[in-house]
A = this chain, B = another copy of it.
Amino acid sequence: MSDSPKVLILMGSVSDADLMRTCWQQLAEFGVESEVRVASAHRTPDLVAELVGGAAARGVGVIIAGAGWAAHLAGAVAANTTLPVIAVPLATSSLQGLDALLSSVQMPAGVPVASTSPGRSVNAAILAAQILALSDEALSARIADLRASQAEKIRNLTVDQT
């Protein structure tokens, strides 16, 4: 298990869990501990503030927020912390994630959010790990290994050309 701080993963609705699952699974593979909670920027603003406000004290280093529609969750998290915040916009409305992407990424000057692509929750996990790896060499090596093994797999592929 990594000595790094842990990652707090929030999602706006319990129905987002299937889309966010690869996020904590990837962190677990890296040996990074994660804390997973449902908290809605609009339905439970106090819970968001509470979970985020005490995060650093609980040993959290990075926060990931997955949400669809007018995805305010990452922004609401960022408003309550200066820890790095990663958004995973979710393509759960009829507008295919363009709404969630713009709601996540278009933050005002002073309060940044790091947006990944709609639905790619695994990348949020890897980005969080890359951040934590700045002071965790073992984690850094695990990330490099993942990258190398992905590349190796692709290098060895052949396409059935019929």
Contacts and interface: CB of A to CB of B under 8 A. Distances in A.
B79 A41 contact: yes
5 contacts: A47-B154, A72-B103, A84-B131, A95-B102, A112-B126
Contact of A110 (B95, B146, B160): B146
Interface string A76-108: 101110111010000101111111111111111
Given A38-B154, A47-B151, A159-B17, A86 B114 contact: yes
Given A115-B115, A118-B93, A110 B130 contact: no
B108 A40 contact: yes
Given A17-B159, A70-B102, A155-B47, A110 B94 contact: no
Contacts of A13: 108
A13 B62 CA distance: 28
A6 B39 CA distance: 32
A63 to B, nearest CB: 11
Given A44-B154, A114-B127, A159 B38 contact: yes
